[in-house]
Amino acid sequence: MDRELTYQMPFERLVRLSRSAGRKAHATSWFGYWAVIGLFCAALVLIMVYDEAVQDWQRSFGLPWFAAFVIIVVVYVAALWALRRYALRQMKGRANYDSTVRMRQDDGGLRFATDAVEYYLKWQGISQMLMEKDGVAVSHGNLFFLVPNGAFASLDERDAFVRVVFGRLSAAARARSEKHVGPVLTGTVGAQA
């Protein structure tokens, strides 16, 4: 069955979708973050309400007056770190981030493809170019694609790619990109390569 739909999606709806989909797709992480924040706030309130008892407990162990607060902050940071690691493992389990990417440049734009997914960025859809230590990044909004230096035969080939893509960008995208790719455009890229 072949189907083609035409519609518009307002930015405000995409923002709501991001929150809603994130909450549904990663429910454990989402609720975990809110639980940790809630428990942190509750612990702070408790050490303020029971200040004298907490101070007596700290003195009995020879701890400084701020020890309970430091313990709470350390537990809070450790919990957030553990939740972040869990969330990253959860994300990695949903897609193969190690698959081979094929990038193809044609008259209409750049095509990024793996065996599972394909993106086509038309020239007018590229919102920015950035030079990274290990390659060139192009973006459409907040969606970034990195083409590593190792994908090119040489840094000269990479620089030629940057110049061609920069030449096809819209005026707004050029303005956002110029300070990032300027050394490549002027041929003074030595330190960035």
Q: Is it the case that residue 97 has pLDDT exceeding 90?
A: no
Supply the pTM of this predicted model.
Answer: 0.74
pLDDT at 123: 95
**What distances in angstroms separate CA 11 from CA 6, 8, 119, 123, 160, one per listed residue?**
16, 10, 20, 21, 34
| 154-193 tens-digit pLDDT | 999 999 999 999 999 999 999 999 999 988 988 765 444 4
Span of 5-9, 24-28, 115-119, 129-133 with lowest mean pLDDT:
5-9
Q: Where are the domains of the chain?
A: 11-92, 102-186
Checking if the pLDDT of 118 tops 90, the result is yes
Phi and psi angles of residue 7, each rounded to the nearest 5 degrees, phi first = -160, 165
